[in-house]
């Protein structure tokens, strides 16, 4: 098993198509683990179960291919509302 820190570092390095690789990795990791982001920083040494690690790596690979975070997590916050999205959904943006 690997730690949260190690897994996030690998994920960040793998995502080269995003300007916000670290944030993307954190969001995907928190979605897989069902954590709040603060837990990443409060327990960086926590070991991650292998099944969760494999799922995270799968999401990282999809992100690397350019899939939007919202499509990978199935949700998107828009003006303080959490909306459910899928691959057929246009992702809402505040400027529209």
What tens digit of pLDDT does each residue of 2-21 get?
999 999 999 999 987 778 89
Amino acid 3: pLDDT:
95
Give phi and psi for 60, each to the nearest 5.
Answer: -60, -45
Give the distance from CA 46 to its chain's centroid: 17
pLDDT in tens, 42-69: 999 999 999 999 999 999 999 999 889 9
Q: State the pTM of this model.
A: 0.86
Confidence of residue 27 (pLDDT cuts 50, 70, 90): very high
Q: Mean pLDDT over residues 24-39, rounded? A: 94
What is the model's pLDDT at position 21? 92
Domain 2-69 has CATH 1.10.8.10: yes
Q: Residue 19's pLDDT is what?
A: 84
DSSP codes joined into one string, 34-59: T--HHHHHH-TT-EE-HHHHHHHHHH
* Percent of the chain's residues with pLDDT above 70: 94
The pLDDT, as a whole number, for residue 95 is 67
């Amino acid at each position: 098993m690997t730690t949260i820190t190690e897994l996030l570092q690998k994920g960040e390095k793998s995502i080269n198509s995003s300007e916000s690789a670290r944030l993307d990795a954190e969001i995907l990791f928190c979605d897989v683990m069902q954590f709040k982001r603060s837990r990443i920083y409060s327990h960086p040494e926590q070991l991650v179960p292998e099944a969760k690690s494999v799922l995270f790596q799968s999401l990282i690979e999809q992100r690397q291919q350019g899939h939007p975070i919202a499509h990978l997590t199935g949700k998107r916050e828009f003006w303080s509302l959490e909306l459910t999205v899928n691959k057929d959904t246009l992702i809402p943006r505040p400027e529209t």
